[in-house]
Amino acid sequence: MNSEILKLITPLSEDKIKKLRSGDAVYLSGIIVGARDMAHRRIAGAIKNGEKLPVSLQNETIFYVGPSPTPPDKISGSIGPTTSARMDSLTEPLLKNGLRAMIGKGKRSEDYKKLLIKYRAVYLVAIGGASAFLSTKVKEIKKIAYRDLGAEALYSITVKDFPLFVAYDIYGGDVFKLVETGSSVK
């Protein structure tokens, strides 16, 4: 675990994430994809049916989010993470297609953690309840697919110094276990 805040820029290759350890603080910049439950179901269904995806998942980062409407004088409405465990059963097809990182909140299943090791991907957590603050880190947001899903559409989100923590790394590290055992998280 690093004591400094690491800066990462998307896209996230395996090379970029292999230095990450659970508990590390990260500032993420670049373009990420916003997708919640329904968008995940559509993406997983498209993969299963051999259909063309609306975005490439290769080295992509998905943020489990349903943004609030954007006020007239703002770039983005409140933008916070949603509970991620609901996506566990939909994750493997995305990882097989190159997904490198996911952003959300809360613990994930043991099977999910094994998939991260197998496919060399990470799970990052954003602070729940800080969605108004997180929106200040958004430089651009736009719907790119599945517009009929409203807030659960697929989004392209450009972020600058988006604050995150590494929850699960590619080595099996687990920040939640660190906290439960009283180990220090810097």
Note the pLDDT tens digit of each residue in 81-121. Answer: 988 999 999 999 999 999 999 999 999 999 999 999 999 99
Q: Please report which confidence band the pLDDT of residue 166 belongs to, taking 50, 70 and 90 as the band edges.
A: very high
Which is it for the CA torsion 160, 161, 166, 167, positive or negative?
A: negative
pTM of the model: 0.92
pLDDT digits over 57-88, tens only? 999 999 999 778 788 888 888 888 988 999 99
Return the structure tokens found at 105.
């909140």
How many other C-beta atoms can be found within 10 angstroms of the C-beta atom of residue 99? 23
The residue among 186, 50, 58, 185 whose CA lies nearest residue 121 is 58
Mean pLDDT, residues 30-43 taken together: 95
Q: Which residues pair with 61 in a beta bridge?
A: 101
Give the pairing type, strands 61-63 and 101-104.
Answer: parallel
Asked about 93 being catalytic, the answer comes back as no
Catalytic member of 40, 42, 113, 137: 40
